[in-house]
Structure 1
Amino acid sequence: MSEVDEALPKPTSTGPKHRAEVRQGPVVRRGRQVQPTTTDQRLLDSRGPADWVHTDPWRVLRIQAEFIEGFGALAELGPAISVFGSARTPAGAPEYALAERVGRALAEAGFAVITGGGPGIMEAANKGASEAGGVSVGLGIELPFEQGLNEWVDLGLNFRYFFVRKTMFVKYSQGFVVFPGGFGTFDELFEALTLVQTKKVTSFPIVLMGSDYWSGLVDWLQDTVAKTGRISPEDVDLLHVTDDVSEVVRIMCAAQRRLDVR
């Protein structure tokens, strides 16, 4: 019998109230869940399989590390706007040129520009900000088909977890500019809408760039979702639809002034 076995309390009965019990920090293990070795012993014993690096407790440490790295890198960023849109937008497309102009205009207005760091709309906004002498930020994500951060990112972070990355977008942005895109763009858009609607974030403008692309969604929200009581009619007003770069800058600057007054 090992020292560990001797140290474990022994059941005096087969009933559930008399099972062996071991406490490991906040975790209580009883009966068959009691492990034959201690946490220190498993840490210091270099033998055995490496499956533990894929366990949930270890993932928690990775998640914590991602939050710490993100907070540390972005804490002194200053006022920033996140720009979202399709990674599939080619460089010669009108939307690419428009995103480049938006990135440049935001940088000239004193905002850092944050994107997902990929190609397409993200690359265009980063390019515009970087060429204007602004801060160009890319928050990448580990995906099987991702190609890494685009060349116009000046400050880049890569994340394993979507929810950590989303936290960085919202925490360090004063507003979102959303270009035409797919599921990933919709995900960011509706997450932001939910946070604003539920007042988890305040004075947070959401601008949809491209009236032709977004008008059908806005009409559906008004004529179907709001009319059937799934949202309030004023919730639709949380969205600003425009094709005008100067309007984007005006909305974001107005929101920033409201924050400065607080």
Structure 2
Amino acid sequence: MNAYQRGPVTLRGQHVPTTTTDQRLLDNRGPADWLHTDPWRVMRIQAEFVEGFGAMAEVGPAVSVFGSARTKPDHPMYALGEQVGAELVEAGYAVITGGGPGSMEAVNKGADRAGGTSVGLGIELPFEQGLNSYVHIGVNFRYFFIRKTMFVKYAEGFIVLPGGFGTFDELFEALTLVQTHKVTSFPIVLIGTTYWQGLRDWLRDVAVEEGTISAADVDLLHLTDDPQEAVRLIRTANEERRAHRPE
């Protein structure tokens, strides 16, 4: 029987809901509905923030890693994800992923096998698969925006493996936060030049040419196929940030 995770609660069988918490929050059921529901949602949102902050507060220096949940264990990108997790641990970082299967599992596995801290931040979805078995600290969220806050707040950079819409969402949100100076010196490294090169070319050849972004915005993205180089880029950026931090 499939399990469904709703925050810290596990549901099975007939108790599995047909909608998610985010969906119910964003649905507009009428002009007065908020009087009866939204104030209570605010309390739940507050509780999720407190839960997340409490779980993550002592993780230490960490890097968030994103990638496809559909990557199979026999795919070369899975092995690369394991190497990313291990390299981050060797560099002194905890690893934060979405906690699911595929590339996320691979990164958590690499961190676990290397003796580091492996964190998974799950999310309530209609096709919830639960946290993978390599997660040491796991938090399940109802709301995407709270989960996204945790990914950024407790990380010193992003490493992005090939992925789909969820990965794109996290990537472009990180780019927006850096470009608007909402976060300071936050390195973003894409692993997989064959997968990502076309995107960066489009940004430079189309978006920059149309004037919708600047050329400097494209330079926020670093491309590589080497996990060691990815970790080096993040560590160098953070060393420079700390060196220029006011005393």
Tell me which interval the TM-score lies in, with the shorter structure as reference length.
0.7 to 0.9
What is the match of residue 127 of structure 1? 109
What is the match of residue 97 of structure 1? 79
Task: Give the whole-Å Cα distance in 1 for the aligned partners of 2:228 and 2:83.
Answer: 10
Task: Give the whole-Å Cα distance in 2 for the aligned partners of 1:104 and 1:144.
Answer: 31
Task: Give the whole-Å Cα distance in 2 for the aligned partners of 1:103 and 1:260.
Answer: 23
1:84 and 2:66 are equivalent in the alignment: yes
Q: How does 1:180-219 map to 2 (within 5 A)?
A: 180-219=162-201
Equivalent residue of 1:137, what SS?
A: strand
Which amino acid in 2 is paired with 1:128?
G
Please state how far the C-alpha of 1:256 moved relative to its aligned partner.
Answer: 2.3
What is the match of residue 237 of structure 2? 255
2:137 maps to which of 152, 155, 174: 155
How many corresponding residue pairs?
212
Q: How does 1:1-262 map to 2 (within 5 A)?
A: 55-261=37-243, 262=245
Higher relative contact order (CA 8 A, sep 6+): 2
Task: Give the whole-Å Cα distance in 1 for the aligned partners of 2:228 and 2:162.
Answer: 18
Task: Give the whole-Å Cα distance in 1 for the aligned partners of 2:153 and 2:240.
Answer: 17
Task: Give the whole-Å Cα distance in 2 for the aligned partners of 1:195 and 1:159.
Answer: 21
Deviation digits for residues 45-74 of structure 1, max 9, x if unmatched? xxxxxx99x811111101000000111111
What is the match of residue 3 of structure 1? none
Equivalent residue of 1:249, what SS?
A: helix
Task: Give the whole-Å Cα distance in 1 for the aligned partners of 2:226 and 2:121.
Answer: 26
Q: Which runs of 4+ in 1 moved over 6 A?
A: none
Please state how far the C-alpha of 1:255 moved relative to its aligned partner.
Answer: 2.0
Task: Give the whole-Å Cα distance in 1 for the aligned partners of 2:228 and 2:147.
Answer: 28
Task: Give the whole-Å Cα distance in 2 for the aligned partners of 1:149 and 1:82.
Answer: 16
TM-score by length of 2: 0.84
Which amino acid in 2 is paired with 1:160?
R
User: Is residue 174–residue 255 contact of structure 1 (8 Å, CA) maintained in 2?
Assistant: no
Where structure 2 has 5 or more consecutive residues not aligned to the other structure, the ranges are 1-31
Task: Give the whole-Å Cα distance in 2 for the aligned partners of 1:234 and 1:134.
Answer: 35
Please state how far the C-alpha of 1:260 moved relative to its aligned partner.
Answer: 2.9
What is the match of residue 21 of structure 2? none
Which amino acid in 2 is paired with 1:247?
E
Please state how far the C-alpha of 1:119 moved relative to its aligned partner.
Answer: 0.2
Please state how far the C-alpha of 1:203 moved relative to its aligned partner.
Answer: 1.0
Deviation digits for residues 197-219 of structure 1, max 9, x if unmatched? 00001110000110000011000
Where structure 1 has 5 or more consecutive residues not aligned to the other structure, the ranges are 1-32, 34-50
